[in-house]
Amino acid sequence: MSTRTSTTPPRPTPAPGPAAPLSRRRRWAGLAVLSASLLVVVMDMTILNLALPSITRDLRPDSVELLWMVDAYPLALAGLLVTASVLGDRWGRRRVLMTGFALFALASLGALVVTGPAGLIAVRALLGAGGAMIMPSTLSLVRTLFSDPRERATALGVWGSTAAVGAAVGPIAGGLLLEHWSWHAAFLVNVPVMALALVAAWTLLPESRSARPGRLDPVSVALSALGMVGFVYGVKQVAQDGAELLPLTALVLSIVLITAFVRRNLVVDRPMLEVRLLGQRTFGAGVVTALVTSIAMAAVFLLVSQWLQLVQGWSPLQSGLALLPAAVTGVLAGPLAPALAARIGARAVLVGGLVSGGLGFGLIGVLPPPLPYVGVAIGLGLVGLGTASLAVASAVIMSAAPADHAGSAAAIEESSYELGAVLGVAVLGSLAASVYRSGLPTSALGGLPAADAVTARESIGGAVEVASQGGPGTAELLVTAQGAFTEALAGAGLAGSVLMLLAAVLVARLAPRDLDVSAGH
């Protein structure tokens, strides 16, 4: 006898699919719209990192307000991913996607009227809500646009590589914008892109719903939103402030709420999230690949960006261009990955991509100090090649899920990326901060005022700021701090390498030898 309850209202009748298969040109044009919109959302995360210094000078936020400026986006995104995916399954994925486009554009336009930190925090939260509607909808629509399994695998490979490349392209776009305009440009650039995306989505994309959508359960909505927000907040705060009562409490409560969400969705009829998908070994292999790659890339890319600007002394634009090796090899590897998987097997590409990324990060970790950029560029190139595993992971995840569960599969994959980014910055970022502080001896801080010593010890950015003021001992402080941060980057690179290589072993055990992403459901 089934343990699922049956106290749910009748589901809405799904809209019929297109009367005839879409033409090849329209399918790939639709994929271009979905990939471009995803690229903008991913780039928006990294552009803010470059804009923060000018935002800080203009709006004068205190430390708490600055934290919320950074965190409002990922908190809103993480909290609404599951709800947005079930809305797409029920009401129409194109409809939810276009709503996300509109909200993203309006929130970006709101940056023009921001006069203080609170306004920018609100803008970032609205952007996160729009991103939560856009990201799983794009993936679900790719899954339903392409009915042919082989063509779908290639399309999902393009989608997966777009997400990875966006993280590398973001600093370049941000550098170009901030080189010539104020920080407002980092937001306003989204407006025309999203306006075009709205027109293109209406013209090119068919509406798509699940034949068996999940029930929009208010209890599950609350549990998923509060659980994900609490987890992201708790991890970030524990990493920043240590084991203090508030973030630890938030972290524990979030785990309780997420556990309750999972248990509820295992027993209710038509759950919001089909968590049983995680029990499939093939699906699990794709999720592990997405999660671990995101952990390593989020942390090491952030640290490399800081190293280029604060140690090498390069401008934001130069630093963005210096990340091009990862973007170039990612653009080449991602779309070709499904074809390679068809020849040598999807498991080989998943494992090979993780190994390539692990070797790239490992190279950054073992290069002799001071790190030569040529060696770092080679490491980044290997990491970009490793995004082939992300391209195939998307195909593995979506092909392992029936079409009716495309929304759940998309929500799980996007949650893997989001949680991976948070864990990467928190865990590997904390490791790097610890190495940095241990490499900054007391003798380098001895001649400084107490407040300046604390600032310099907190971060490389603080040390550069203190050194820029001049005075006794600041020149020595700058050299020592830059050396300590270089060691911190190397340490994070080695940690990321070990993590990815261990993930390669785990994925090799989870994924069957004959895994074929072109089969699907």
The rounded distance, in Å, linking the Cα atoms of 265 and 263 is 5
pLDDT digits (tens, 9 = 90+) for 417-431: 877 877 887 788 888
Rounded mean pLDDT of 164-168? 68
Residue 11's pLDDT is what? Answer: 47
Instruction: Give me the pLDDT at residue 240, please.
Output: 67
**Contact criterion met (CB below 8 Å) for 350 and 285:** yes
Helical residues (DSSP H) of 60-116, grouped into ranges: 63-91, 93-109
Which two three-digit tokens encode residue 218? Answer: 């208010």
Q: Looking at residue 214, what is its pLDDT?
A: 63
Q: What is the mean pLDDT of residues 227-236?
A: 81
Over residues 6-15, mean pLDDT: 44
CB atoms within 10 A of CB 512: 12
How many angstroms separate the CA atoms of 196 and 518, rounded?
32
Q: What is the pTM of this model?
A: 0.79
Residues 305, 49 contacting (CB under 8 angstroms): yes
Residue 64, pLDDT > 70, answer no
For residue 252, pLDDT over 80 is answered with: yes
The pLDDT, as a whole number, for residue 364 is 93
Reported as a single tens digit per residue, the pLDDT across 302-356 is 788 888 888 888 877 788 788 888 878 887 887 788 778 878 888 888 999 999 9
| Residue found by looking up tokens 């070709």 in the block | 336
The SS3 assignment for 18 reads coil
Tokens found for residue 62: 């205190």
Q: How confident is the model at residue 392 (pLDDT cuts 50, 70, 90)?
A: confident
Q: What are the backbone dihedrals phi and psi of residue 209, each rounded to the nearest 5 degrees, phi first?
A: -135, 165
Using CB atoms within 10 Å of the CB of residue 433, give its burial: 0 to 12 exposed, 13 to 18 middle, 19+ buried.
buried
Where are the domains positioned within the chain?
24-217+268-437+487-510, 218-267
Residue 273 has phi, psi (to 5 degrees) of -125, 125
pLDDT at 98: 93
C-alpha 35/C-alpha 89 separation (Å) is 20
One DSSP character per residue, 311-325 reads: IS---HHHHHHHTHH
At residue 216, the 3 state secondary structure works out as coil
Q: What is the mean pLDDT of residues 238-267?
A: 84
pLDDT at 5: 42
pLDDT per position as a tens digit, 425-484: 778 888 888 888 888 877 777 777 777 888 888 778 888 888 888 777 778 888 888 899
Cα distances (Å, whole numbers) of residue 317 to 136, 180, 215, 320: 31, 10, 47, 5
Indicate if the pLDDT at residue 178 is higher than 80.
no
Torsions phi, psi of 52, nearest 5?
A: -55, -45
**What are the counts of helices (DSSP H) followed by strands (DSSP E) for the chain?**
21, 0
Examine the pLDDT at 372 and tell me if it is beyond 50.
yes
pLDDT category at 360 given cuts 50, 70, 90 is: very high
Q: Cα-flanking dihedrals φ and ψ of residue 280, to 5°?
A: -80, 130
Q: Does domain 24-217+268-437+487-510 have CATH number 1.20.1250.20?
A: yes
Terminal-residue alpha carbon distance, the chain = 27
Task: For the chain, give the mean pLDDT.
Answer: 81
State mean pLDDT over 233-252. Answer: 78
Segment 32-55 shows an average pLDDT of: 76
Cα angle, residue 368 at apex, residues 364 and 372 outer, rounded to 5°: 65
HEC sequence for 345-399: CHHHHHHHHHHHHHHHHHHHHHCCCCCCHHHHHHHHHHHHHHCHHHHHHHHHHHH
Q: Is 321 exposed, middle or buried (0-12, 13-18, 19+ CB in 10 A)?
A: middle
| pLDDT exceeds cutoff 90 at 83 | no
Sign of CA dihedral 507, 511, 512, 515: negative
